[in-house]
Amino acid sequence: MVTDKLEAGQKVRVVQRVHTREGDWETAIEGEVVYCRPMPTGSWFAHGKNDKLWLNRLRLKRADGELIDLNLDADSEVAVLL
């Protein structure tokens, strides 16, 4: 996943999908990377680091200053914008 190469200040577009019986729901968001790192959830998960479920979290800052937190999964597409 490209998230290993994300750095603060980069402009990115993230497309996320949710699969349903009626078809896929898709949304896209663009912004500047504030951080991208694995963070624990409040959920317990056997054999996870410190017995927690860890998710890749991406915080974006939009042009209007809005901060957006995304949980990235296998269906998330992250593209660095030039």
Domain count, the chain: 1
Question: In this predicted structure, what is the pLDDT of residue 55?
Answer: 85
What residue numbers bound the domain in which 58 lies? 2-80
Q: For all residues of the chain together, what is the average pLDDT? A: 89
| Residue 35 and residue 70 in contact, taking contact as beta carbons nearer than 8 Å | no
Per-residue DSSP letter, 13: E
Query: Is residue 30 scored above 90 in pLDDT?
Result: yes
Q: What is the DSSP string of 55-77?
A: EEEEEEE-TTS-EEEEEE-TT-E
Instruction: Supply the pLDDT for residue 5.
Output: 87
The closest of 32, 18, 28 to 80, measured between CA atoms, is 32
Supply the pLDDT for residue 2. 67
Rounded mean pLDDT, 60-77: 95
* Environment class of 68 (CB within 10 Å of its CB; exposed 0-12, middle 13-18, buried 19+): middle
CATH assignment at residue 40: 2.30.30
